[in-house]
Amino acid sequence: MEYYSWILSFHVMSFMSWMAMLFYLPRLFVYHVEHAHKSEFVEVVKIQEYKIYKYIGLPAFWATLLSGAAMLIVNPVLFETGTWLHAKITMVVLLSAYSFSLEYFRVKLEKGECERSGKFFRAYNEVPTLLSLLIVGYVVLKTFSLLFTSISIGIFAFIIYMIMQQKEKIG
């Protein structure tokens, strides 16, 4: 337990760095897709996409996972604190899958093989916000609330619906 607070601090900082990539990379995808006709611009965006994923996102992802595992090893009592930890871990698994999906889209965009629209990436950009909201909610409140989870999902489903209803911008 002596090192738990240090590990927790590192975990929070790693999570923040990972989230920065998860929030920004889909926005770059929007710019990439909506300005595909500007080849010089797209080449710059491709470099940004690569660097934010490989140099910020991926290391921060691994640092978050490893520090989270270290916290559980140092403080196994966390497993006995209720369903909130299991809910958090479930959301982290979903967030991890989302993170790897961004690399899938990045590679497709780099090769010019992605058929997704700017509207799709605007909506897709809401996913990490929802998952991080749930993760932070479970951790801070130290509880799993089906009502909190359902309301959060409902609000974000509405936001995504509204994004998808917007007219496509061509730029």
- Taking the domains of the chain in order of start, what are their residue ranges? 4-165
Burial, 145: exposed, middle or buried (Cβ in 10 Å; 0-12, 13-18, 19+)? Answer: middle
Query: Which pLDDT score is estimated for 36?
Result: 94
- pLDDT value at residue 85: 94
Overall pTM surpassing 0.85 (yes/no)? yes
Instruction: Determine the residue type at 155.
Output: I
| pLDDT at res. 43 | 97
Nearest one of 19, 54, 43, 5 to 136, comparing CA atoms? 19
pLDDT of 79 reads 86
Task: Show pLDDT as tens, one digit a residue, over the chain (171 residues).
Answer: 789 999 999 999 999 999 999 999 999 999 999 999 999 999 999 999 999 999 999 999 999 999 999 999 999 888 888 899 999 999 999 999 999 999 999 999 999 999 999 999 999 999 999 999 999 999 999 999 999 999 999 999 999 999 999 876 555
Dist. CA 135–CA 91, nearest whole Å: 6
- Whether 41 and 35 have beta carbons less than 8 Å apart is answered as yes
Binding-site residues from annotation: 11, 88
Please state the residue numbers annotated as binding site for heme: 11, 88
The confidence score (pLDDT) of residue 168 equals: 64
Chain centroid to CA 130? 9
Give the whole-angstrom CA distance, residue 116 versus residue 121. 7
Q: Return the pLDDT at 145.
A: 93
- Give dist(CA 55, CA 74) in Å, integer: 28
Q: What is residue 170's predicted lDDT score, i.e. its pLDDT?
A: 54
